[in-house]
Structure formats: structure tokens, C-alpha cells
Amino acid sequence: MDDFSTGRMDNLWHLLRYETFSFIRHDVISSLDLPVDEIYNLACPASPPHYQADPIRTMKTCVFGALNLLELATYHQARIFQASTSEIYGDPHVHPQPENYWGNVNSFGPRSCYDEGKRSAETLFRDFHARHGVDIRIARIFNTYGPRMRPDDGRVVSNFIVQALKGEDITVYGDGSQTRSFCYVADLIEGFIRLMADQTTIHTPVNLGNPAEFTVRDLAEQVIAITASKSKIIHKALPIDDPRQRRPDITVAKRELGWEPSIALTDGLKSTIAYFERQLVRASSELFEVA
């Protein structure tokens, strides 16, 4: 189910050949009733430009969406997964970030609609579990990348790749010394599956991300090297509330799920760059046909 506020139908074509696959266009802000056994709630833009474009809608998606799906899960006694976020930790004073760290979050800034929306959703999940016995699973997702990202996604990996492939200057905010961890999407989905497995009984948040830590400048240099781009790195002012460091402590995921990432950043970037190259070639050919 999707409302395509940031998703694309192109990402679903390969699934349509399966008789067991069906798609519903719907916005989780509105209530719904469907027969369900499991729910994966990944609704909400995760890119700052997208979630800041309509902050009230972002907050509604996080809170009303979670509430509607939790009520659906309660009615059908379904297991439900919440895609939470490392933004729960804000600009952390503890490094790396374990699940028992409460975070350093600004409730009155440009990122607050997403940060506080996701924090509120976690609270709803906790209370539905305590009050109604709903079988909840919560993943706090750290920076993730891979094929099928939008070229205009606005996050650092897609930005750098598109700029490098076009030969444009690569925009680094601040001096580039801020750190991030980058998890390839296939590793992350494996974590989702393990967290939702029947034998898993953990109902508290679990960090899912790659603990390998890189500066933003490191990432830019790797993208330039892999693409053999002539792009230059330029610097712009750091956005408000941009975290200085971000790295998951995945001790709980290792212990409870037997999970840890296996795909190195270099390998994941190669696959992601190849995808964006195909997308740019396709866009150019379509533009040529129209012209």
C-alpha cells in the first residue's frame, strides 16, 4: 500500500507478475479495514527535503498512520512492524547510540516534524502492546541506501551519486567531518525479516544499521573514485540540527536476531551507482524522444 507521495510505480512493475502480489493506493492518515496477518509500517518520507516540504502532513503520517495501523492490528490480532529511525537520537551526546539512550532532540526545529513524529509513533506502539497485547516490532533504522532510490531523494548518498554522474560539483554541508553509517538496503531488509520472525520475541526498539563509520567527505571521495568523475567538492553551510555523528550500537540485533550487515560500503555503492547510471540514461533517452 502506498499513496505515492514519494514512492514510484516503477518500483513495483517487477512484482506485478506474481499472483500473490496486490497493490492498494491509500494514505495511512485515513483509516482502513483490510484482513491482515502482518503489517510493515514504513509510511513517511525519510528525506529532509521531502518531510520538511509539508511538516504537518509528516507528523500526521507518523502519528495518525501509526494509530490507524495499530487499531487494524489490534482488530485482526496481527503482528505489526514500525520503521522508526536513528533520528530518535537527534544530535547525540552518546556515541555509538544504543537503544537505551534517550537522545538529544530539538522539538522546535525544522527536523522536529519527523523526529518527534517517529518518537510519538514509538510511544503509541509501546502503549498498544501494553494495553492490548499487540505483537509489535520496532526497528530504529540508520542511514540506508541502494537501488530504487529517487534521484531527487535529497539524502547524501543519492545526492553525491547524481552530482558525480552529471559531472557537477558535489555539495558537502559543513566541513564534511560529520560522520554517518551507511547500510545497504539488502542487509536492512534481512534485519526486518529476522525482527518479524515467529521465534523473535523482542518488543522494544532495535537498532538496524551498519556500524562502520565514515565522514561525509569520505563518502564524497569514494563516490568520485568509483564513478571516475571530474566533480569537485564544494562546501555549504551546515543545516540546522544536522547531527555531528551517527553510528548504531547493534549489540541487541546481534544477540537477539543473529544479524549484522555483510555488504561493504564500496560494494553497495557500486550497485547503487550502476542503478543511477541506468536511470539517467533512461531519462536522457525519454527526453530525446520527446524533443
Higher per-residue confidence, 275 vs 287:
275
Residue 173 pairs in a beta bridge with 236
| pLDDT greater than 70 at residue 291 | no
Work out how many domains the chain is built from and give that number: 1
Structural domain includes residue 3: no
Q: Which domain holds residue 117?
A: 9-290
Q: What pLDDT is stored for residue 280 in this prediction?
A: 86
Which pLDDT tens digit goes with each residue over 17-43? Answer: 999 999 999 999 999 899 999 999 999
| pLDDT greater than 60 at residue 262 | yes
Per-residue confidence at 287, pLDDT binned at 50, 70, 90? low
114 is catalytic: yes
Instruction: Give dist(CA 91, CA 276) in Å, integer.
Output: 30
Q: What pLDDT is stored for residue 242 in this prediction?
A: 87
Structural domain includes residue 1: no
Structural domain includes residue 223: yes
Structural domain includes residue 100: yes
Q: What pLDDT is stored for residue 124 in this prediction?
A: 98
Residues 6+ apart with CB under 8 A from 191: 139, 206, 208, 253, 257, 259
| pLDDT greater than 90 at residue 284 | no
Structural domain includes residue 83: yes
| pLDDT greater than 70 at residue 159 | yes
Structural domain includes residue 73: yes
The CATH number linked to 216 is: 3.40.50.720
**Model pTM score:** 0.94
| pLDDT greater than 60 at residue 288 | no
Per-residue confidence at 241, pLDDT binned at 50, 70, 90? confident
Q: What pLDDT is stored for residue 286 in this prediction?
A: 63
Active-site residue, selected from the candidate residues 51, 89, 114, 184: 114
Structural domain includes residue 4: no
Residues 6+ apart with CB under 8 A from 90: 103, 104, 105, 106, 115, 241, 243
| pLDDT greater than 60 at residue 181 | yes
Q: Supply 241's cell numbers.
A: 540540527
Structural domain includes residue 139: yes
Query: What is the per-residue burial (b if ≥16 Cβ within 10 Å, else e) of 234-243?
Result: eeeeeeebeb
Q: What is the mean pLDDT of the chain?
A: 95
> Phi and psi for 84 in degrees, rounded to 5?
-90, -160
pLDDT, mean of residues 223-249: 94
